[in-house]
Structure 1
Amino acid sequence: MSWTPSTWRSLPIKQSPNYADRERLVEVERELRGYPPLIFAKEVELLKSKIAKVQEGRAFILQGGDCAESFDRLSGAGIRDFYKLFLQMSVIVGYARGMEILKIGRIAGQFAKPRSEEFEEVGGVRIPSFRGDMINGIALDEREHNPERMLKAYHQSSSTLNLLRAFSKGGMADLHLISRYNLDFVTHNPLGQKYQALAKDISQALAFVESCGVDIDKRNEFGEFFVSHEALVLNYEEAMCREDSLGGGIYDCSSHFLWIGERTIDSPAHIEFMRGIKNPKGIKVSPRMSAERLLGLLDTLNPSNQKGEIVLIARMGEEYIASSLPPLLRATKERNVVWVNDPMHGNTIKSNGVKTRYFESILSEIRQFFALCEECGVYAGGLHLEMTQEDVSECIGGSVTIEGLGKNYATQCDPRLNATQSLELAFLVGEGL
């Protein structure tokens, strides 16, 4: 059928909020449609050209950020340190691999999470599960699904994007300042010292290039930064759709890049919405994905097989990736797609009742991903991480011991790599694992 931003409403849907106040929902959607776009079509088209460059093996995607953003933890310092951590990781990986790093944050919109159960029991009382701040609150008395939260998500996303744009254009990404990117709590860490040595090498290289008459500042695209989130709450995503007045086409102006998650891959409504927007699209690929199903999704979401449109995000788990990924790699070799690895979601466990992930399991899946891609003749195009600039203790390994797990456990949903673990991972990836 012909597509509009609202044709998803006629199809079955999974993981959709259950709003009791339908009248207020309609009012919120109307209000959002009148707000300015958060991103612009030209930015989206630039990102698509960069993704096409990744497919050609000339760039590498680093995508990462919070499991679920929080309304209560917004701060300018937090956004600054998040951006600095991304710059550090990009310096480390990019210098070692000798190519551009395409930086995509899970930020400025990642406020909703799918859940396996609609309800949970707390103290003998059955209440709705926490679904992310865009839908309901984590406090026990805020679990009703509230459409007003979409407005707050928009405004926080707008504030976050304004600051990220200021950082990216205002000089923070100046390569001459890379030695100053270190976060306070890793400055005296061996990894921080290793980064400083790398920064010194890069500074010397820059000085040599500039001595040859090359204007680094004029050519520098290092500060470019794009944002992404899971396209989960379609009421919000539809309301943020805008038609490009210059080039035509409908863009979801809530984010540059959106993905379909493991729990909505079988939701006809989500597939229908995603097939019509002009944004590049991610597809989370788990061990239950068959080659036939994946090819069918590609036919739907990118029927003309254009470059820069599709990123396939493998989230297999270290135990299953060796058996599940190769058939999919081979099946998609004739399609214009980029393969990246999400080593987080397939490796979540519980330790003493606390959700966590082992750093070694994360590293094991990444190692296997790179090796399997090489065996199948497919370019390993990037990583998709749940990470934070904060000194949290949520994943075990590196700077966090089993005994230290939970010492600073701040995530609203899934465990994240802290800044030190993220830097260590970047060095390992840069050095070829």
Structure 2
Amino acid sequence: MSRWLRHRSPSPSEVGFPLGRRALLRGAGAMGALAAVPTLAACGDDDDGGADEGSGAGEVTFGSNEVGSTFAKQRKAAVDDFQSKNSGITVKLNEIDHNSFQENINNYLQGNPDDVFSWFAGYRMQFFARRKLIGDVSDVWPLEGVSDAFKTASTGEDGKQYFVPQSYYPWAVFYRKSLFAERNYAIPKTLDELYALADKMKKDGLTPFAFADKDGWPAMGTFDILNMRINGYQFHIDLMAGKKSWEGAEVKKVFQTWKTLLEYHQPDSLGRTWQEAAQGLHQKKSGMYMFGTFIIDQIPQADREDIDLFNFPEIDSKIGASAIDAPIDGFCMAAKPKNKAGAKKFLKYLASTDASQQASNLGEPFIASNSKADTAKYTTLQKKSAELVSQAKNIAQFLDRDTRPDFASTVMIPALQEFIKSPGNADSILKSIESQKKTIFVD
């Protein structure tokens, strides 16, 4: 198993709140239970446990969910580097299994959490910020080299920041450069150009889009990009938060467009894994693949430099193509850290060029959130990914990170799979989504 398998947001069993049914329902039920614990709001006071308010001198505890991974080495290196530059502050690294950490996050935050811990941007961060279970780190910002788009993804519903980013990976349309050169294909800039390219590919005997949804989550990426291209970033975020109707004309237009695009996708996708779909791209049987950069895991080393990407094209000129999915990993602070001053200094360091540089050396598909990190060791694909994200005005986190995990798993996975199987039933599927949404978004 690739070392990157555990860092992919949509992976059903390795990342975030597991999307396997039983595991997710445990996590979702725990999250729902948080809403019934109003006394936890009192956690956000300013008691620093006797730590020096100015210098942060003393111990900072650091909870990392990367035990046993390549990232674990980077975490230890970051601790050593920080301590060498901040006399009087020591960092105690507490490591735990990735999935165990995610599945028990609510117990962790209600109990005795570390001062600083690994987490995700977007809704998953906002969920706990709203319940006063993580701390306000607004005074850590601005962060040199970290764009406003990342700041937006680090911001809670109250306008304050509760997160600092370190790494990300974008979703885009992947293709083989040699195939496009051989066939004289041009990168499409609009939906009409994309249709024209897909028609040409079909005439050339290719399947325009590789596609797989056996595991339930890959189709989320297609929905995300279509919704953002048709209705814009803010509508998408509001829809994910349960604030917009799934039966509205806006969402119906998304599924109408998707229905047309499905004609250019690999058939029988519900019986295919994303790894199998990636082989079609590698073997030049499929012309394109809308996916995350971890697709590179399925490409032999000798052919990796032939893999390139482009931003999904514009659909509505009024909306543009400046929003993308790029799940961001980083760090939060406990609501009541024992050493608040030290924790904030450590957080600022973790988002710095120094810490980002260490992480950047991990290889594909890692990309540092800090734009000033040295990219000399980046592959061509990493550099292209960084360029794509640097041009984005808004960064979404992928459907399973931008909404409640129980909604993503128990509602959206079966709904999207039903649509793929029977695209003519979109209206009834959307009606069902809306009905179920109202029973879930109740807090």
Query: When the two structures are superposed, what TM-score results if normalisation uses the length of structure 1?
Result: 0.23
Query: When the two structures are superposed, what TM-score results if normalisation uses the length of structure 2?
Result: 0.23
> Which structure carries more relative contact order (alpha carbon 8 Å, separation 6+)?
2
Q: Which structure has more helix as a fraction of its residues?
A: 2
